[in-house]
């Protein structure tokens, strides 16, 4: 079975990947000793730049393995695409200015920024860019998006990040009301990951 190592310390992202891979013949694992590796600074202005940087730098620590890195975030129409690449540190940007903030703090800030904005103007997209790298070089890049509407109060207990506020009209549920497998069918990460798996099938045949 083909093995893919995911470069993340985010347990929610890892659960999403395992959920998305459940239907495929692929083994998903974290990079061994990930927490002890030097942290890659996500200072790129786009999801793609950050995803490539993470995949390339972390793949050096797992020679010969395919390493997949995800850079993702929420783009809110009424906020000109913010918080975007800054989604993980959205609340901290107001306070201490750097580092990731808790999901609760990020969601609280989002609700505050959107206060008074009616449902029909609360459209947002989740965006995910995945970079696959081996031995320090990017092999391919994949992206996926999911369209939703931001709720005025959280719903559901699954998922992570902004999932409790992200209402997905097609299923009439917030992302946090979906299991990892259900979320993978419709999510930005699931879509990008399926493109990666198609590529991986082809790549396996070639090499």
As a whole number of angstroms, the distance between CA 150 and CA 119 comes to 7
Q: Is 168 in the site for ligand IMP (CB under 6 A)?
A: no
Q: Is 71 in the site for ligand IMP (CB under 6 A)?
A: yes
Interface with ligand IMP: number of residues (CB under 6 A): 18
Nearer to ligand IMP among residue 26 and residue 178 (C-beta): 178
Site for ligand IMP (CB under 6 A): which residue of 73, 144, 148, 154?
Answer: 73
DSSP codes of every residue in 150-165: E-SS---SSS-TTGGG
- Known catalytic residue: 163? no
Write down the least CB distance from residue 43 to ligand IMP, Å: 11
As a whole number of angstroms, the distance between CA 135 and CA 204 comes to 17
Site for ligand IMP (CB under 6 A): which residue of 19, 148, 161, 190?
Answer: 161
Instruction: Point out the catalytic residue in the list 71, 77, 103, 135.
Output: 71
Is 79 exposed, middle or buried (CB count within 10 Å of its CB: 0-12, 13-18, 19+)?
middle
The 82-101 contact track toward ligand IMP, x by CB under 6 A, reads -----xx-------------
Whether residue 203 is preceded by a cis peptide bond, meaning omega within 30 degrees of 0, is no
Using CB under 6 A, which residues numbered 104 to 133 contact ligand IMP? 106, 126
Pairing of strands 2-6, 26-30: parallel
As a whole number of angstroms, the distance between CA 197 and CA 200 comes to 5
Residue 45 gets the label, from left (phi > 0), alpha (psi -120 to 50) or beta, of alpha
Q: Is 42 in the site for ligand IMP (CB under 6 A)?
A: yes
Positions that interact with ligand IMP (CB under 6 A): 42, 70-74, 87-88, 106, 126, 159-163, 175, 187, 189
């Amino acid at each position: 079975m083909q093995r893919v190592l995911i470069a993340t310390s985010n347990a929610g992202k890892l659960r999403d990947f395992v959920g998305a891979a459940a239907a495929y013949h692929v083994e998903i694992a974290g990079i061994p000793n990930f927490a002890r590796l030097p942290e890659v600074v996500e200072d790129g202005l786009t999801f793609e730049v950050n995803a490539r940087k993470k995949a390339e730098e972390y793949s050096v620590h797992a020679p010969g393995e395919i390493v997949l890195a995800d850079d993702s975030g929420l783009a809110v129409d009424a906020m000109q695409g913010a918080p975007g690449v800054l989604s993980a540190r959205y609340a901290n940007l107001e306070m201490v200015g750097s580092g990731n903030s808790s999901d609760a703090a990020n969601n609280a800030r989002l609700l505050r920024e959107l206060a008074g904005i009616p449902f029909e103007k609360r459209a947002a997209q989740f965006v995910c860019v995945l970079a696959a790298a081996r031995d320090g070089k990017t092999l391919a890049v994949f992206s996926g998006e999911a369209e939703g509407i931001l709720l005025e109060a959280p719903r559901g207990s699954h998922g992570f990040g902004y999932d409790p506020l992200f209402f997905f009209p097609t299923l009439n549920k917030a992302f946090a009301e979906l299991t990892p497998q259900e979320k993978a069918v419709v999510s930005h990460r699931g879509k990008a990951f399926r493109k990666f798996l198609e590529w991986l099938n082809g790549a396996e045949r070639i090499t």
